[in-house]
Structure 1
């Protein structure tokens, strides 16, 4: 296991952006598998590989680049370290970024599921508030710790590991009828 971590560290050092995106996409996919198998209890025969691939695509093309880019911007907007800085970053993340990100995520997943604009709007009206409230139960504490203890280039990976459970929830929320 230590060897895998060292290899990951080397790759991250050599290709930080690519590795962060691949990590995010892979872990969004893991979240979907958990959603389908544990939350929805679809079993292997009922598992939608197409859905998992779509969710991974969202991870590769949206979650990884957007969250990774956001962390870089956040470090420029609020430079420094320490508890007050971590708290400020968490507040900006949760007040400005999380609501927009969540709406976009749900919209993209819905569009990839073939919903029309009107159906997407209806889904957002039905699911967005609940998803945002659930976000606020989980992410503020995670983000304070992330911004306080974790170097910038590891933040996306740390968040994505914690987010396996969150991604399971989002996958379920995004794909339920």
Structure 2
């Protein structure tokens, strides 16, 4: 988990698996109720920025690929520098912002919490735990991510009423297509 999620120490040196009190705490238990600057929730900034950057890069690649495929289909593919400039000027920056904000606000913090939870309940790197983590990733996290990203995009586009049809039409194919990438990546990551 260190490669993608910051491991147990993350940005704030927080380890949810540690049951040992810190030296300055002794044995007493601190309560966060009513405190304003205590040890409550802290936004996982590093993970959010990483997810936003990867979302922006992924969307940019997807947009360029889509334009390239369309140009190739009409035999309009050339190596002219002007064509490259038109590719950049045709970039849908609102779509890129939508995907970047999804990565920053939802996917980064959400996946960070998910992987912290997995590491807490399946801490040992045994074959059984790795297989279970990959399985849970695909049957819980995958559908949640698809549901949220579809909703995020449709809400931004003002198409909330079309969301049920979007789920019926695209959710399962997207999930199955994602298995080809995410199962090997998750196995390597865990």
- What TM-score does the superposition give when structure 2 sets the normalisation length? 0.66
Task: Write the mapping of 1:81-160 to structure 2, written as runs, cut at 5 A.
Answer: 81-116=125-160, 118-147=161-190
- Specify the alignment match of 1:39 in structure 2: 66
SS of equivalent to 1:80? coil
CA contact 1:107–1:124 (8 Å) conserved in 2: no
2:53 aligns with: 26
Q: Deviations over 1:18-61 (max 9, x none)?
A: 11110101110111111111223481121111111111000000
Cα distance in 2, alignment partners of residues 125 and 13 from structure 1: 37
SS in 2 for 1:23: helix
Match of 2:72 in 1: none
Is the alpha carbon distance of 1:60 and 1:76 closer, same or farther for their aligned partners in structure 2, counting shifts above 3 Å?
same
Larger Rg: 2
User: Hey, which bits of structure 1, 4+ residues long, moved more than 3 A?
Assistant: 12-16
Q: Tell me: CA distance 1:15–1:76, structure 2 relative to 1, closer, same or farther (3 Å).
A: closer
RMSD of equivalent CA atoms: 2.0
Select the structure with the greater relative contact order (CA < 8 A; seq sep ≥ 6): 1
Q: Which runs of 5+ in 1 are unaligned?
A: 1-8, 148-177
- Which position in structure 2 is the counterpart of 1:80? 124
Distance (whole Å) between structure 1 residues aligned to residue 93 and residue 48 of structure 2: 20
Aligned pairs, number: 136
Q: Secondary structure at the match of 2:97?
A: helix
Which secondary structure state, in structure 2, belongs to the residue aligned with residue 99 of structure 1? Answer: helix
TM-score computed with the length of structure 1 as normaliser: 0.70
